[in-house]
Amino acid sequence: MTKAQGGPDPFSHEDVQAALGRSALARLPDRLRDQVLSQSVRAELPRGRLLDGPPLFLVVSGLIRVALQSPDGRRFAVAYLHRGDVAGLARLTGRRYPLSFETVTDCYLLRLGEPAVKDLLERHPEVGAAAASQLNRHIDDILHETALAAFGHVRQRVLRHLLALAVIDPAGPARCEITHQELADAVGSARETVTRTISELKSEGLLEGDHGALAIPDPERLRRELAP
């Protein structure tokens, strides 16, 4: 495991182990997990960075938005990647999808060596099973977002994305740094519609704050409303 060229280690061995413990790689034998990490490179990315490809990587910390991208550049969020998620597995089979990957917060990533992981996938069923488990997570997320887009109201989609973006603060309300336009793009709706929805949520005490900096006093209330 190496660091990004030209800079200090952006995060510790303990950070990597914590992310691995939450990942689909957690159940691999130690020898195979070490081989998966053998050609990895640590990287730190600022908020708002688009990941080209994307590369094969493990999210050590931070939040990444996965969006379906149209030919004219519009994006509709279909999933969010958190600590422990592995992305870029489709690259190993030569598949490409019209998806964009954008850092929502500052992120620490562990870029995995694609040749090494591909070789392990071909030789060790345990690695293939771990990859399948991660892909199942992605499919579950995308199906959930698709169902919300097809059958849910704008209010439900807004609540879902706000909860996904929320930074939990034990000392105060959860915070979301997002503009109305960014939220509208994420949920696939018009900015005016999203602005009205946010105003309704504020009047009900579910949201506080102003444009670009929203606060959620009680995230559990939002989760209860979204519960089936």
pLDDT tens digits along 51-101: 877 789 999 999 998 988 777 777 788 888 999 999 988 888 787 788 889
- What percentage of the chain exceeds 70 in pLDDT? 93
The DSSP code for 106 is -
**Contact by Cβ (8 Å): 144, 194:** no
Say what the pLDDT of residue 8 is.
54
Whether the bond into 54 is cis, omega within 30 of 0: yes
**What does the pLDDT average to over 124-132?**
92
User: Within 10 Å of residue 135's Cβ, how many Cβ atoms?
Assistant: 14
Q: Report the amino acid identity of residue 182.
A: E
Neighbours of 129 (CB within 10 A): 12
Confidence of residue 170 (pLDDT cuts 50, 70, 90): low
Which of the two residues, 168 and 6, has the higher pLDDT score? 168
pLDDT at 5: 47
| All residues at 6 or more sequence positions from 40 whose CB lies less than 8 Å from its CB, including other chains | 1, 2, 58, 110, 111, 112, 113
Query: What is the reported pLDDT for 9?
Result: 63
pLDDT band at 188 (very low <50, low <70, confident <90, very high): confident
How far is residue 18's CA from residue 34's CA, in Å, rounded to a whole number?
15
Mean pLDDT, residues 106-125 taken together: 92
| Two tokens, residue 75 | 């994006």
Query: What domains can be seen in the chain, in order of their start residue?
Result: 13-150 (2.60.120.10), 152-226 (1.10.10.10)
- pTM (whole model) above 0.85: no
